[in-house]
Amino acid sequence: MSDRYNMNNLCVAALYASSLAGNLVEQLWNFAWPSSIALLHPSLLPVAVMGFFSKLAIIIGGPLLGKLMDFSPRVPAYMGLNVVQAAAQLLSATMIIHAHTVSSTSAPAVLFRPWFILLVLAGAIERLCGVATGVAVERDWVILLAGMNRPIALAQANAVLNRIDLLCEIAGASVFGFLLSKYEPVTCLKYAAASMIWSLPVMIGLTWLTNKLATGVLDRPKSCQTSCGESPEEAVVEAGSIVDRGLETIKLGWKEYMQQPVLPASLAYVLLFFNVVLAPSSLMTAFLTQHGVNPSIIGVFSGLCAFMGVAATFLSATLVKQLGILKAGAAGLVFQASLLSLAVAVYWSGSLSQQSPVLLFLGLIVLSRLGHMSYDVVGAQILQTGIPSSKVNLIGTTEVSVASLAESVMLGVAIVANDASHFGFLALLSLLSVVGAAWMFCRLLLNPTDEQRSLFAVESNK
């Protein structure tokens, strides 16, 4: 028993190391590309267009890739997606470097340049692969390695994975922000490309080590394959065509998503994705860059937002213990909505031309992330409780697709209102989405269904 316990711990530790190697580069790139593009043109349009098409790729491709992963061997599929993601990141970096070496044009004209079209395609592929690997680790691998029958170990593993992701966000944003304040954008992008090249073999090696230490756990067939009684080949033949099968999978994903017992909690999570500017997002990075804020301050802002997420992984455990899981989720959302209301009030006061109001505005957003990430941690546990293991990838990627749909709607609005002067309007819409999420979750708390009561029976004793 002791040997098996130690082996489980080694497997999970190897998974942590693999996640660290991958997330560090991914988070660095998530900060690098919008800040580099924002330096090309005084408009939010290029960043908004890139974000829009990335989300569109997730909306369409998320359920399809999730279904494919449910039928594919875990380790080869995961490694393959990491290779494709790294290649897409390198291509994106190359295109942005090229853009910085040619003469600039107006923002609308940029959209039809070959380099920008390639950049959009590479960015969409990169995000789709990133989402798929994230769902695989957070909704499947960690459950197998930590143990479904070890709830405490699973909760600890979830918290550590969240901390790794957030610490990588702190490091990635801070490092690239510092580099951008000292060097030219092209030099910084070359450093980012070098990090992508060295991290890929490290990540693949650590994934192989995780599988070896797991001694076959990750090679087990998924319950979806055994219970559904069909192979991938049979599924394709039955559908008659790839297009028909794809549409069938998308419909199935949405159907399963809408029928999950914890739908209100998931929809509250989705509503938070309408918040595209009052967060450390690509549009916020572009706005601050064009507003003349020092890149190192922008990097510190993103890093502090992520640090609040790390703090939330500790705070959420205390909140759940004191309030129960549902009340803890509600507390996080209400806290976030309250602070963002103050942030929007500061923005609309019209004093952001001075440094102190800008720092106050950013500080309120940083503090609001404590509530946001507390709900993120609590919400993940709610969804792990309510989603059956045989449908985890399908429902998980569909949820990401729905969230991406919400974000793409707001990015579409940003494409129309692409001038930086319209930022206040986007901020107000973002605030309304967070308030809506808090309202929806509070409704679940006050009026749960019988099935929800049975899932969270412990709440009745709080």
Express each pLDDT in 133-142 by its tens digit.
Answer: 988 888 788 8
* Cut 0.75: pTM above it: no
Band the pLDDT of 161: cuts 50, 70, 90. Answer: confident
Phi and psi (nearest 5°) for 456? -120, 50
DSSP annotation of 349: T
Report the distance separating Cα 271 and Cα 437, nearest Å: 5
Neighbours of 211 (CB within 10 A): 23
Report the distance separating Cα 335 and Cα 380, nearest Å: 18
- Checking if the pLDDT of 329 tops 70, the result is yes
Neighbours of 412 (CB within 10 A): 16
Express each pLDDT in 272-307 by its tens digit.
Answer: 999 988 988 888 888 888 888 888 888 889 889 888
Residue % of the chain over a pLDDT of 70: 85
Q: Find, among 178, 181, 182, the residue nearest to 170 by Cα.
A: 178
Q: Are residues 96 and 189 in contact, defined by beta-carbon separation less than 8 angstroms?
A: yes
Band the pLDDT of 167: cuts 50, 70, 90. Answer: confident
304 versus 11: the higher-pLDDT residue is 304
- Checking if the pLDDT of 242 tops 60, the result is no
- Checking if the pLDDT of 424 tops 90, the result is no
Report the distance separating Cα 428 and Cα 131, nearest Å: 28
Express each pLDDT in 69-119 by its tens digit.
Answer: 877 888 899 999 999 999 999 999 999 999 998 866 666 778 888 999 999
